Chain A
């Protein structure tokens, strides 16, 4: 397993580098400038894929956590911790890119709208998991804490969304039934390529983080062995 890692992540890292370069050139050189919002609309091409992948990460976290609870195999925990931390990173980027766009578009940096608030709560939930794992004294304990909190957090996200939606509602809905294709042709291609690039980047980071988890585990095992010899 370890031996195949370099090929897998090497390919993914190379592919995400090419993909991101292609996406950036599409976004800034090819895609037409939006009529009303101008250059600031270009954040949309990065913001939307990041947001989508953040929620994919939560789903992968749920799968990893359930897999660990059911089988107690370390690989499921590696998947859970990787998607949790990469998801947290993407979530941070969503929360940074959003306000940069919102200020010129809506006139405010922040608003307590459903998607934004849910993303913020999700950020807090993921941060809680990362911090709680850090308190654990063994890898197994970290895995158990991560699995229990991961299941609760992942199930919480849709409920939080619905609750905040009832509480408040003002995100731009770009895609939806009966709206036709809202994007100019060049925009659709830029978004598609960006989506693909960010997805590959996500996969690359998750695989790298899983490899790190494997290395951490073998380091801990080697330390244990050294202690018991001395």
Chain B
């Protein structure tokens, strides 16, 4: 089985499970909504208005997104723990890199699906719809979510192999994702103020580089991460 077919088969498996249960979508979506409402209570909304939404909303959005992603990524490997499906997956006669890419692709699609609902909702809640450059915003979201999904999938595999290790994912993922989060907030701020993508070209380049680098790193080390015992 070729690498690409293996990737698609594994991603399709995860998405099919999700399509029949909607459990990840329900839990991450609801969690994201809760975090968003908590943010609205945590900030003085007059101050937000005075500062201008583009200076506050990117932070709100990315904290919400990364927290919700952690819930989703934990779910992604919880599935594999039932009846030790992860060992079966690790034994599949395909490259371990394909297992990484497949799980990562499914998580990426699920997080992007969450964003389709969450991002407009955030913009409406915090009145940030004024000057949005929509194509730029989409590029920014996809590029940064790729990095988040990659690191999350790698760390999710590591954490899922450790007994009672689920709680580790947040502790491992958020510090390692520092460059992604910094860049995401800067670029989202640009997109919400209607700036063209070129204004944040260097951030986007570094993020693209980050995405490629950790894709390669994960391909190399995922086999070790999946090993049992």
Q: What residues make up the interface of A, taking CB atoms closer than 8 Å to B?
A: 69, 121, 124-125, 127-128, 131-132, 135-138, 140-141, 144-145, 147-149, 151-153, 155-156, 159-160, 162-164, 166-167
Candidate in A121, A124, A138, A152 with the most chain B CB atoms within 10 angstroms? A152
B144 within 8 A of A: no
- Residues in A neighbouring B227, C-beta threshold 8 A: 141, 144
Q: Check A160 against B179 for contact (C-beta < 8 Å).
A: yes
B150 to chain A, nearest CB (A): 10
Contact A128/B175 with A135-B163, A135-B168, A166-B203 known, Cβ cut-off 8 Å: yes
- Residues in A neighbouring B176, C-beta threshold 8 A: 125, 128, 152-153, 156
Report the nearest B residue to A167, measured CB to CB.
B182
Report the nearest B residue to A118, measured CB to CB.
B178
Contact A148/B224 with A131-B168, A132-B158, A159-B210 known, Cβ cut-off 8 Å: yes
B116 within 8 A of A: no
B151 within 8 A of A: yes
* CB-contacts of B182-229 with A (<8 A): 182-183, 186, 202-203, 206, 210, 213-214, 217, 220-221, 224-225, 227, 229
Q: Check A128 against B210 for contact (C-beta < 8 Å).
A: no
- Residues in B neighbouring A163, C-beta threshold 8 A: 178-179, 182-183, 206
B172 within 8 A of A: yes
Contact among B151, B165, B178 with A132 in the assembled complex (CB-CB below 8 Å): B165
Report the nearest A residue to B157, measured CB to CB.
A148
In the complex, per-residue mask of B132-164: 1 if CB is within 8 Å of any chain A CB, else 0: 000000000000000000010011001101111
Report the nearest A residue to B182, measured CB to CB.
A163
15 contacting pairs across A/B (C-beta < 8 A): A121-B175, A121-B178, A124-B175, A131-B168, A131-B171, A137-B162, A137-B163, A140-B229, A145-B162, A148-B224, A162-B206, A163-B179, A164-B182, A166-B203, A167-B182
- Residues in B neighbouring A153, C-beta threshold 8 A: 176
| A156–B182 alpha-carbon span in the complex (Å) | 13
| A137–B228 alpha-carbon span in the complex (Å) | 10
Contact among A136, A152, A167 with B151 in the assembled complex (CB-CB below 8 Å): A152
Number of interface residues of B (CB under 8 A): 33
Ranked 10 nearest A-B pairs via Cβ: A124-B175, A163-B179, A135-B162, A163-B182, A159-B179, A128-B172, A148-B221, A160-B178, A135-B165, A148-B225
- Residues in A neighbouring B217, C-beta threshold 8 A: 151-152, 155
- Residues in A neighbouring B220, C-beta threshold 8 A: 69
- Residues in B neighbouring A145, C-beta threshold 8 A: 158, 161-162
Q: Check A135 against B164 for contact (C-beta < 8 Å).
A: yes
| A163–B176 alpha-carbon span in the complex (Å) | 12
B87 to chain A, nearest CB (A): 14
B70 to chain A, nearest CB (A): 14
- Residues in B neighbouring A148, C-beta threshold 8 A: 154, 158, 221, 224-225
